[in-house]
Structures are given as C-alpha cells and as structure tokens.
Amino acid sequence: MQDVSMYPMAKPEVNVISHQPGKLPAHVEAVRPLIEQAEVVSFDVFDTLLVRPFARPVDVFTLMERQSGVKGFHDARILAERLAREKNHARSGSAEVTIDEIYQQIKLPGLGQTSFQALKALELTTEGEILKRSPAIGPIYDLARSLGKKVIAVSDMYLPASMISSVLARNGLTVDEIFVSCEHQTSKHESTLYEVVARSCGVDTARITHIGDNYKADCEAALKAGVVGYHIPSVLDQLFRDGRFNQLALHKLFQVQKHGADTSPNLFASLALAFIAQFRARHPEAPIARVFGAMYGGPLVTGFAAWLNAVMQIDQVAHLRLATRDGYITKEIWDILGLPGRASIMQSSRRLTMVPAFHTAFEKEIGSVLSTSTACTLRECVQRLGIGAGEAELLNALSIYTPLDRVLDTPAKTSAALIAMKECRPIWRRIAAREMNAYQHYLKDEGFDPAHDAMADCGWALTSQRRTELILGKKFRGYYVGTLEHAYMHEDIRSFLFHHGQDRNWVRLAERGVELLELAFASTHAQISHFEECEDGVRPVSTQHQRQYEILIGNFVAQMQDEIRLFAEHFKPSVSHITLNEMRDTLYDLFSSLITTPTNYEYEELALLPHSRELGASGFATIGTFWSTQNGHYAEVQQATSWRSYIRLGLISFRQEGLRLTWMRAKRVLRRRLKR
C-alpha cells in the first residue's frame, strides 16, 4: 500500500456563530444559559474540544507501532504509563505524570535512549496531526467566544500544555489559558485542579462553567469544587445511544480487538467507528442516504480501492480498468487516496458485452436475452436491448416463428421464443458482428492490453469478463469485490471479500442482500448500451432509463457519495498502516449486521429504494424485493419473482449450461426463497 505515514496538519477553522436564540443546534442552545451566566467558560480537551480518528485513544499507539516498525510498542507504552503512575503515586501521592516520565518506564529489548526519544517525538507529532476539532463541541466553543467569555481548557493529561495549546490553535480553538494535570500535579477527577483554575483566573468557582465528556471528572468533581460542571457525552457515546444506527454493527466494531493470532487492535474498525460517530455529530438528523454512505458505503468502496492497489502492485499490472457503472466512485476514491498506478474508467457491462458475444458463442449466449426475473413479451426482450439498426428486420423475422406480444410466462412459451431466435441466427450474427467490431475498436482506442491490464468491478457471476474475453479471444486479469460459486473463473481472477463462493459466510450474505453491496457503487453516469462505428471511429449509444427513476436514485447517490468521499479523506492518512484482513473483518461485521439484522429505520428506508436491473427487466422493483433479513423481512412488491418464473429460468439454464451449473443456481434460489 501507499507509504503515507503522516497526517496533514489541520487548518484553523474559526466559525463564529450568531448568539441569537433559536439559531443554534439543540445541544448548543441547551448549554447557552450556563455560558451566559459564566465569567469563565472551561472546556475539557480530549474527546470534547478535540477528537481523534480512532474510537479508542490507545489505538494511536498501534498506529505508532506500525509507523515505526517497533514491534510490541503498543503494549509497552500502555504498561509504561501504568508503571509511571504507580511510581509517582507512591512517591508523591499524585498519579499525574508527564510524557517524559512515561517514556522512562518503557522497556523494549534492543532500544536505546535515542530510540525512546524518537518514539516520544513521534507520539507528540502523531497526536498533533491526528487531533481535530470536534463537530459537536466546536459550535459551543464558538458560542462562548461570540458572547465575549474568557475561554480556557482544563485537561487531565500527560502531554505538555504548550503542545495542546498549539493543536487547539491549529484547529481554530484558541484558548486564553490552559491547565494540564501533569504540570500541576493535581487533577480534575480529584476536584483540586479546579481550585488551581479559579485562583489563576481570579474568579469565584461558581462563575466558572466547565464542559466535558467524563461525568465523574467534568461534572461530579466540578460540582464538588463549586464549579458548574456540564456533562456532554463524547461523540462515540452519543452514537451508542442513537437507535437509528445499527447498534449490533457498532458493538461489533467496538469489541473487535484481534485478527487471528495478531494481538493488535483492528485499526480499520476503530477508524470506521470514529468516523461514524463524528458523522452523526455533524448530521444528527441525516437522511438514510448519508447514513448508508458514512456507515457502509465509505468503508466498502475505500477498502475495495485499497485492496485493488495492493493486488495491482503484486501482479505488476500496468493499467487498472474500472468497469462502469461501479467504477466511477471507485476511481474518485482512488484519486482521493492518492494511490499509485494508472487507473481509468472502461466501458463494460452485461448489455455491452452480451450482443457482441453472440457472434462467437451464439448457442451459449442467445438465451441471455430471455433471462429475466419478470415475465415479458419477446418484443419487449428485444426492444430493451436497444440494438438500433436491424431491430425492425429482426422483429419481422421473429414474428414468422412465434407471437411477439405473447407473455413468456411458461417454459413452453419461453422455449418457443428461444427456438424462434435461433431460427433468426443470421440476423443476430450480423448485429453481433457490427457491435463486436465497434467494441473491439473502442478497446483498441483505449489501449486495453489483455497481457498487462486488469478489469475491476463488483463481480458476482463475471459474465462481462467472460464475454469480453470471447470478444478479444484472450484472457486477462479481473479484480472483483466478490465472486459466487457458479461464477466464470480462471487463475488470473482475484476477489476481495469472497472468491468463487469459498467463504460461505460472505456468500450467505450475498444471497440475502447482494443489492446492498452493489448500492455502495451506484452511479448517475449514463450507462453505455453499445458502440457504433462512424467516420471518426466509434460513438457510444446510451441505455434509455426512466427519467423519474434517474431523478430519485440520483438524489440518493449524490448524498451517499458525499459521505463516501469524506470517509476516504478520513482514512487516507492511515492507508499504508491498515491490513487487508482488518478491512475484510470490519466489512463483514458491518454488512452482516445490516443485511441480516437491520434496524427498523434501515430496513424501512433502504428496502423501499427503487432497484432497476441493467436491462430494465425488474420493473423497477425495490431493493427489498431481493433482501432477506434474519427476521424474514421482504418488501411486498408486485414484481416479486414467482416460482413459475424460476422454473422457466431453470429449464433455460439446463439447456444452455448443463446440470451442474443449474443445480448451483437452484440451491442459491432455494436458500433465498426459503428464508422468507
């Protein structure tokens, strides 16, 4: 992965807000009276004014261990702090220690004093770079400043006041004074640090309002000292109290500590959890599109892009071709992460490769025209291909052998339609040859090199790769989110989450709700139906879609992708220090919770989102049509696939693919249907 070991410094963000009542978020208005009556407004620092990109503060030490390559640093750093506090308490009665005293207690074989000094400097640098202004408390700070209050910071911490003051200033949170427990050898949780604050500020304790996330230290101990202590839970604690967010998924992310024999925490899970908490603080009433993007879409697309980068380097791929439509957001995230290597969009889809494949594999591929989950007529099956020139001739020829407007709702009718299409083989092959030549022309113009390039897409059955290889007469590398047991497969195909149906846990999730995995990669870009040759080369012909559908789904996609991009920015500084296994484990925890046990909010909002299959054959059914939860939820829609349709499809599959592949497909259908 890319060697990005340093976080960019935060730029000052000073957003002075209006102090007129009714103009602020509810949690800010709630504390307004306490700020107005105070002479001094005091803030806790960590998890109050400033937040880290990790759910657990000690994950900073894991990041440092991976940055420095010093094995065992995470555990040694935690132990050293405990020993330093015990030693200082025994000597002076105070457990408050400085960072210098902590590093004096670190015991790691083979490291000298110079190395410890370098590690201490790395900790100061790392903390300074990753700490950011809290989206929840920042507006309260702005209110205090707009009201002309003296603003101070009070923290039980081992880091020096000068360093904390500098970080606050870089985040637009300048304070008038700062009090740190290690420099006064007393603490908030003992109440005595508040007395030091009052004396230094020259005010009565009752004229101080202190705000923080730790109830005991920031509220109870403050009240005991005579200070008005106001408790605001951390953004993470607030997330855990919000029923709109899938608490099962959040609990899994918070609890995960290991992968296999590795003793280090899962940094990707920690990053994701911190991002979700900070997202909720920024958007407490966010619509489902943003929630899905922040909690599920961001981790999935970002993880996929990072994995693509890793396997691309291993395989020494010269050019990564991101297939449409799934490739558009992947390319954006690739660019945000600043990943090395060449990556670009390549036009490829089921429709785009289907008709050209008729030229070289007519008997095998022609049945795909009729493979639809909803009964329709032969005329509709042909027209939705949008083949242009030759369509009228084809329909006239087909009408000689079978009725064009008869609904194909029985195996006998479907079989008759298939026979009719085979009788028109010469016309099909002419159309296929035209499209194949145009598509080959496009690939040549793009410089697609099967020997050195790789195609990337969501995956599942890999019909597009199989057909493209037929068109080119050559195999090439393919990288996918996941591939099923009946997927087209060879040695140059790789999968991120599950490969050839071998991970049964992931396959079961895909069977229940693969549309939710696809949703993260949704795009509003026009889908190319086919290419046509012209004087200047080739020109694309776009697939026609329902305008109202595009408007509706476009609104969802735009909001979802905003959060996916923000997650990538959040992840970027750690991209070289996160393992692929951490990503896979985190994504499984997230999507297993969403797909099998969604919250009522998640299910009711996502299940009713329109889901249009590429050829328009689903009749704009909803995602819930295909989504089976642990509680047996399925959206009640008119277009749900009937058993008769499955039997019809099974017979077609048997004739074209044989018993083995048909049986694998049937098992998948049975598992999904019986879970209803």
Query: What would the 3-class secondary structure string for 36-70 be?
Result: HHCCEEEECCECCCEECCCCCCCHHHHHHHHHHCC
Bridge partners of residue 287, in order along the sequence = none
pLDDT at position 545, please? 58
> What are the φ/ψ torsions at residue 666 (nearest 5 degrees)?
-65, -40
- CA 3, CA 60: separation in Å to the nearest integer? 18
Please calculate the CA angle 476-304-577 and round it to the nearest 5 degrees. 120
Q: Identify which has the larger pLDDT, 626 or 72.
A: 72
Cα dihedral 61→66→70→75 (10° resolution): 30
Give the torsion sign (CA, 248, 250, 255, 261). Answer: positive
Mean pLDDT for 260-270 is 73
Cβ contact 619:639 at 8 Å: yes
Distance, C-alpha 676 to centroid of its chain: 28
pLDDT at position 13, please? 40
Query: What is the DSSP secondary structure assignment for residue 297, as one 8-state letter?
Result: I
Kindly give the pairing relationship between strand 228-231 and strand 319-323. Answer: unpaired
Residue the block writes with tokens 């803030």: 43
Cβ contact 55:85 at 8 Å: no
Query: What is the DSSP secondary structure assignment for residue 155, as one 8-state letter?
Result: E
Bridge partners of residue 622, in order along the sequence = 610
Cβ contact 497:503 at 8 Å: yes
What is the tens place of the pLDDT at every residue in 160-189? 999 999 999 999 999 999 999 999 999 999
What is the tens place of the pLDDT at every residue in 297-348? 999 999 999 999 999 999 999 999 999 888 999 999 999 999 999 999 999 9
What amino acid is encoded at 28 in this protein? Answer: V
Query: What is the DSSP secondary structure assignment for residue 234, as one 8-state letter?
Result: -
Cβ contact 44:154 at 8 Å: yes
pLDDT at position 546, please? 55
Cβ contact 333:595 at 8 Å: no
Cβ contact 81:158 at 8 Å: yes
Q: Which of 212, 151, 150, 162 is nearest to 187 (CA)?
A: 212
Cβ contact 587:497 at 8 Å: yes
Cβ contact 465:501 at 8 Å: no
Give the number of other Cβ atoms within 10 Å of residue 485's Cβ: 17
Over pLDDT 90: what percentage of the chain?
Answer: 71
Residues 6 or more apart in contact with residue 316 via CB below 8 angstroms: none
Residues 6 or more apart in contact with residue 286 via CB below 8 angstroms: 279, 280, 294
Least confident range of 260-269, 354-363, 474-483: 260-269
**Three-state SS for 665?**
helix
Using a 10 angstrom Cβ sphere, with 0-12 exposed, 13-18 middle and 19 or more buried, the burial of residue 20 is exposed
Mean residue pLDDT of the chain comes to 88
Using a 10 angstrom Cβ sphere, with 0-12 exposed, 13-18 middle and 19 or more buried, the burial of residue 23 is exposed
pLDDT at position 656, please? 59
Over pLDDT 70: what percentage of the chain?
Answer: 85
